[in-house]
Every structure is written in C-alpha cells, then in structure tokens.
Amino acid sequence: MPLSPSFLKSVATRLGFAACGVAPATPVDEDVAGGFRRWIAEGRQAEMGYLANNVEKRLNPTLLMEGAQSVVSVALNYYPDRQLDPSRQYEFAWYAYGQDYHDVMKTRLAMLAEILSGETEGGTHYRVFCDTAPVLERYWAWRCGLGWIGKNTQLIIPHAGSAFFLGEIILDRPFTSYDEPLPSRCGTCTRCLDACPMQALSAPYELDASRCLSYLTIEYRGDDLPAEAVRAMGNCIYGCDRCQQACPWMRFARPTRVEEFRPKSQFLSLDRATLQSLSADDYRQLFHGSAVKRAKYEGLMRNVRAAAPKE
C-alpha cells in the first residue's frame, strides 16, 4: 500500500523538521553523476578520501538498501538565536554552536521512519542517514523539492536560507505521489563567490575543498595551516559561514527551535584567552557531544595559534 506524502510531511513538521519531501529511489541524474565523478577525478575532495569511496552506492540508492523504492529528505534548522561576539571572541561556524547534529538528526529520523512503518501492513524496511554514509544529501534534498543547490553548493530553502542539517530515509515503500525539484533562484547573483576569502568557489557550483576554510580548519590534519589560509581566516577558528552570510536568501533565516542546537552559556561566554590556554581535558569537557570534536584538540589549537597573532 503506497504511503501518503501529506501524512509524511505532517509528522515531519510535528517532529520539528523545517522541510520534508520525497522522491523515487532511482539512480542520480546522469549530469549530476558525471559532475561528481569529475570532481573526484580532479582531486577537489582534498584529503577527504572517504568521498571517493563507494561511488556507485553514492549515485544509486538501490545499492544502499535492497528493495529501496523511495527517498525521504528532511531539513533541520540550526541557525543560532544568539551569536558569538567577534570583537572579543573567536568565531565558530553556526552549525557547531549546539550538540552534534548526527545524533539529534538520526533520533528524529528514526522516529519519523517508525511512524511511517506503522502505517503499513507488515511494517516497512528502512535505513536512516545523516552525513555518515555515501549519500548525495544536497542532491536528494533538491530532488525531493526542499530547495535548490546554490552557487555556493549549499542547499537553499525558499524564504528560509541555508542553515539546515539534511537527513534521509530510504525505504522499501512507494508513495502515492512524489515531489518535484525546484529550479534555481540564484539568478545572476554571485555574492557567495565574491565573499569566499580563499576563492574556493572557483565558479558557480564549483567548490575546491582544498581551498575552503571549513575544510582547512576542520578536516585538514596538517600541523600548520597554509599561509594563505592563515591570512584569510580572520577570527574564525572552526569552519566558515561567509558564503552563507553573503547569500541574500539568508535574510529569511529564523532562529532554530531545536533545543539541542541552542548554544549553552558556557560556549557563548568563551573568550580568546580561555581558548588560547585550553588544555586537552578542558577541551574534552567543553566540547563533549559537540561537532567541534571533529577537528580534534590538536586541530583546534593549531587554528587558535594561527588566529591569535591577528588580535
């Protein structure tokens, strides 16, 4: 028995998701698949070798789960209601203000999937994903009608912006109808490209991760940041939101209502001196359950040292 997309979306809204859509579980469009293969072949993924693994699974959801018929995509708002003060504090990317999104998203996705399963005789076989498996998340968010992929490669939701975590459910049931992708509404705007301090966006929709400050301050494991990155990073020691901040669609962003993503007072009170003298034990305690742990203690302190001389 096919599932109802309206029921899916009503439950998703009740669970706090800002947007939800569904698409048939078919292979990724050929032009997108070709673009991804080219991006990998050119080494644009930098040292994130995992992105070059399981390419065929990444491009075909039926290889991720036997019997897959539908892909559900959801978005969870992380735009902070309060922000750090760059005049006296180091900056962190907005997504790292609260708890690690992987656990928060997967818990809600599992709840959504279980409710859907309860609507079918005999239940539903499903898998949930959030940035931990070979899934083209932004592609599926676009394919499911949540928004369009902007020139900064971020998923932009109409009248909401791009400060959203994305998650997916692949399940073995069809829906009575499916959502349609949205056309781009970026027009001739290039503010995101102009705002990138490292010119990581070499052209619209073209990201070179090796030049991206988010990659360099989080994923890159070198002992020292490249000199060009040190000059460009300014006050930001974890991630970079500049291409998002420059996007006109971000004027519609509203603070998250997800309690887990609201920053704790301890985080908001962090000053530069505290971070400059942070011990490994302090780091583990302060960032317990936080996405900041992705950079590891050594990586964060490397970034602090790089930013400190510019005070």
Structure tokens at 197: 């301090």
Number of neighbouring beta carbons within 10 Å of residue 214: 20
Return the residue matching tokens 């789960």.
65
Measured distance CA(223)–CA(131) in Å, rounded: 26
Domain that holds residue 31: 5-83+95-171
Whether 131 is a known active-site residue: answer yes
* Residue-level pLDDT at 252: 98
- pLDDT for 182 beyond 70: yes
Listed in sequence order, the DSSP H helices in the chain are: 5-14, 30-41, 55-58, 101-117, 137-143, 191-195, 213-214, 227-233, 242-245, 265-268, 272-276, 280-286, 296-307
* Residue-level pLDDT at 311: 44
* Residue-level pLDDT at 123: 87
**pLDDT one-digit tens code per residue, 75-126:** 999 999 999 999 999 999 999 999 999 999 999 999 999 999 999 888 899 9
Same domain, 24 and 167: yes
Same domain, 132 and 223: no
When the pLDDT of each residue in the chain is averaged and rounded to a whole number, the result is 96
Same domain, 68 and 216: no
Residue 126 counted as domain residue: yes
- The pLDDT-based confidence of 1 (bands split at 50, 70, 90) is confident
Same domain, 135 and 195: no
- pLDDT for 143 beyond 50: yes
Q: What is the pTM of this model?
A: 0.96
Return the residue matching tokens 């028995």.
1
> Which candidate in 131, 223, 224, 241 is catalytic?
131
The pLDDT of 44-69, averaged and rounded, is 96
Same domain, 162 and 195: no
Cα-based torsion angle of the residue sequence 209, 160, 157, 291 in order, rounded to the nearest 10 degrees = 40
- The pLDDT-based confidence of 309 (bands split at 50, 70, 90) is low
Same domain, 46 and 142: yes
For a pLDDT cut of 70, what percent of the chain falls above it? 99
**pLDDT one-digit tens code per residue, 189-205:** 999 999 999 999 999 99
Measured distance CA(136)–CA(133) in Å, rounded: 9
Residue 89 counted as domain residue: no
Same domain, 164 and 101: yes
Same domain, 149 and 9: yes
Same domain, 209 and 157: no
- pLDDT for 218 beyond 60: yes
- The pLDDT-based confidence of 154 (bands split at 50, 70, 90) is very high
Same domain, 224 and 105: no
- The pLDDT-based confidence of 2 (bands split at 50, 70, 90) is very high
**Tally of domains in the chain:** 2
Residue 255 counted as domain residue: no
Same domain, 155 and 15: yes
The pLDDT of 3-30, averaged and rounded, is 98
